[in-house]
Amino acid sequence: MAGSTCGSTAVGRRSLRVSTRRAFLRYTSRCVAAAGVASLLPCGSTKRAAANVPLGKADACIFIWLGGGACHIDTWDPKRKSPDGKQPGSYYEKIPTAIPGVEVCEHLPQMAALLDRCVIIRTLHHEVIDEHAAAVNRLHTGRPPASTTIYPSIGSVVAWQLGSGQPGVPPYIVMGYPSPSRGPGFLGPAAGYLYLLDTEAGPAGLKPPPDLTAERADRRSQLLAGLRANYQARRGDSKVLADYLAAVDQAARLSSPEFMKVFDLKSEPARLREAYGSEFGQRCLLARRLVECGVRFVEVSYNLNFVNGTGWDTHNQGQLKQHLLIADLDQALSALLLDLERRQLLDRTLVVVATEFGRPPEFDAGGGRGHHSKAFSVVLAGGGLRTGQVIGQTDELGRAIVEEPVSVPDFHATIYAAVGIDPTKELYDGDRPVPITDQGTPVARLFV
Q: Examine the domain organization and report whether 179 and 223 are in the same domain.
A: no
Segment holding 196, helix H or strand E = strand 194-196
Same domain, 336 and 319: yes
On whether both 136 and 212 belong to a single domain, the answer is: no
pLDDT for 146: 94
Residue 243 in any domain: the answer is yes
Classify residue 8: in a domain, yes or no.
no
- Is residue 390 assigned to a domain? yes
Q: Is residue 242 domain-shared with residue 354, that is, in the same domain?
A: no
- Number of CB atoms found within 10 A of residue 25's CB: 13
Indicate whether 169 belongs to any domain: yes
Could you tell me which residues are beta bridge partners of residue 352?
63, 380
| pLDDT of amino acid 135 | 98
Together in a domain, 313 and 420: yes
Query: Are both 240 and 293 inside the same structural domain?
Result: no
Asked if residue 19 belongs to a domain, the reply is no
In tens digits, the chain (448 residues) has pLDDT values of 444 445 443 333 333 333 334 443 343 444 333 333 333 333 333 344 445 778 999 999 999 999 999 999 999 999 999 999 999 999 999 999 999 999 999 999 999 999 999 999 999 999 998 899 999 999 999 999 999 999 999 999 999 999 999 988 999 999 988 899 999 999 998 899 999 887 776 666 666 677 777 788 778 878 888 887 888 788 777 767 777 776 666 666 666 677 888 999 999 999 999 999 999 999 999 999 999 999 999 999 997 657 788 899 999 889 999 999 999 999 999 999 999 999 999 999 999 999 999 999 999 988 999 999 999 999 999 999 999 999 999 999 999 999 999 999 999 999 999 999 999 999 999 999 999 999 999 999 999 7
CATH no. for residue 108?
3.40.720.10
250 shares its domain with 151? no
The answer to whether residues 308 and 228 belong to one domain is no
What percent of the chain is helix, strand and coil (3-state, nearest 5)? 40, 15, 45
The total number of structural domains in the chain stands at 2
Residue 30 lies in a domain: no
Phi/psi class of residue 273: alpha, beta or left (left: φ > 0; alpha: ψ in -120 to 50)? alpha
The secondary structure of 275-323 as a DSSP string is HH-SHHHHHHHHHHHHHHHT-SEEEEE--S--TTSSTT---GGGGTTHH
Answer yes or no: do 218 and 300 share one domain. no
pTM of the model: 0.83
98: exposed, middle or buried (C-beta count within 10 Å: 0-12, 13-18, 19+)?
A: middle
Decide if 5 contacts 16 (C-beta within 8 A). no
Asked if residue 145 is part of any domain, the answer here is: yes
**Cβ–Cβ under 8 Å, residues 53 and 417:** yes
CA–CA separation, 56 and 64 (whole Å): 20
Distance of CA 4 to the CA centre of its chain: 22
Examine the domain organization and report whether 198 and 299 are in the same domain: yes
pLDDT of 357 reads: 98
- 345 with 277, same domain: the answer is yes
Is 375 within 8 Å of 120 (Cβ atoms)? no
Q: Within this chain, do residues 241 and 324 fall inside the same structural domain, yes or no? A: no
Distance (Å, rounded) from C-alpha 244 to C-alpha 250? 10
* Domain presence at residue 42: no
**pLDDT of the residue at 432:** 95
| β-sheet bridge partners, residue 298 | 62, 173
Q: Give the domain extent around 215.
A: 208-254
